[in-house]
Amino acid sequence: MADDIPHIAEIKVPLNEFVMEIATKAAWVVIDKHTSRCPIQTMDSRIRVLENRFNILIGAIIGSGVLGGVAGAVVQKLLIGT
Q: How far apart are the first and last CA of the chain?
A: 94
Query: Which comes out higher in pLDDT, residue 67 or 34?
Result: 67
Cα separation, 6 vs 72, in Å, equals: 84
Give residues with Cβ within 8 angstroms of 35, minimum separation 6: 41
Query: Is the pTM of the predicted complex or chain greater than 0.85?
Result: no
- Asked if 18 and 24 touch (Cβ cutoff 8 Å), the reply is no
Band (82; pLDDT cuts 50, 70, 90): low
Closest CA to 11 of 22, 1, 2: 22
